[in-house]
Amino acid sequence: MTRPATPSPAPSQSPAQAPRPAAGTGPRTTRRIWDAQSLALISVFAALIAASAIVPGIPVGGFGVPITLQTLAIMVTGLVLGGPRAAAAVALYLLLAFAGLPIFSGGRAGLQVLAGGSAGYIAGFILAALLVGMAAEQVIRRVPAKRRGLWFFLSAVVVTVVASHLPGVLGMMVNLKLSWPAAFASDLIFYPGDIVKDAVASAAAVAAHRAFPDILVRRVK
């Protein structure tokens, strides 16, 4: 009588044959947005931008466009909070200022500020915060911590030119009836100060991300 055949045990898989985890299943990051902490940070940074306008501006030229600390505060906001939350913080600040709170430079308030030489710069506030914040998100995800300061600075300089100086020149052309060369020449005086402010904002952002590693993105296991 023949014995029934017993199933042979399945061959064990060697480490080389074992299935590997799919690509991208390692540590991931996700953007922090619209949680309770984010809403609190939006309010705090909106207040920071408003406070930066209390410091008296330095009048330059004859077109009523002073050098202020608001652009510094906006760069810090973007580099720390990331694009959407930074844009929300600036939008909250502008909403309160346009509603009548005297939190524009020089204690100004209301929509009438958009009739002056600063209109273009003010109009670029939200775009600048959004763009530099989006750049900061990529820097945090892709760049080692020791090199983030340089990339923060480069991002801030590019965004300052594109989202602050360019709208500022256009605003002077529209409201002050200046030609392109005249408006461009009037804007050049702001470059040295803005480069310094971008460097300070980058250093402040590096310190903030070092102290609070999850303030912008958090690790997801």
Asked if the model's pLDDT at residue 51 lies above 60, the reply is yes
Has residue 187 got a pLDDT over 50? yes
94, 125 in Cβ contact below 8 A?
yes
Whether residue 62 is predicted with pLDDT greater than 70 in this model: the reply is no
Segment 138-163 shows an average pLDDT of 96
The reply to whether 28 falls in a domain is no
Share of the chain above pLDDT 70, in %: 81
For the chain, give the mean pLDDT: 86
- Residue span of the structural domain in which 205 resides: 33-209
Does residue 203 lie within any of the structural domains? yes
Report yes or no on 140 lying in a domain. Answer: yes
Question: Looking at the whole model, is its pTM more than 0.95?
Answer: no
Q: Assess if residue 92 is contained within a domain.
A: yes
Is 27 part of a structural domain of the chain?
no
Structural domain includes residue 146? yes
CATH number at residue 153: 1.10.1760.20
Q: Measured between alpha carbons, how far is 194 from 197 in angstroms, rounded to an integer?
A: 5
Q: Tell me the average pLDDT across 32-44.
A: 87
8 A C-beta contact, residue 97 and residue 220: no
Strongest mean pLDDT among 6-20, 25-39, 185-199? 185-199
Write down the pLDDT at residue 66: 82
Residue 190: which pLDDT band, with cuts at 50, 70 and 90?
very high
- Write out the H or E segment, with its range, that includes residue 149: helix 148-160
Residue 4 domain flag: no
* Domain assignment of residue 143, yes or no: yes
In angstroms, the CA 207 to CA 211 distance is 6
* Segment 33-51 mean pLDDT: 92
The predicted pLDDT at position 217 comes to 80
Number of domains in the chain: 1
Residues 6+ apart with CB under 8 A from 163: 124, 127, 128, 131, 132
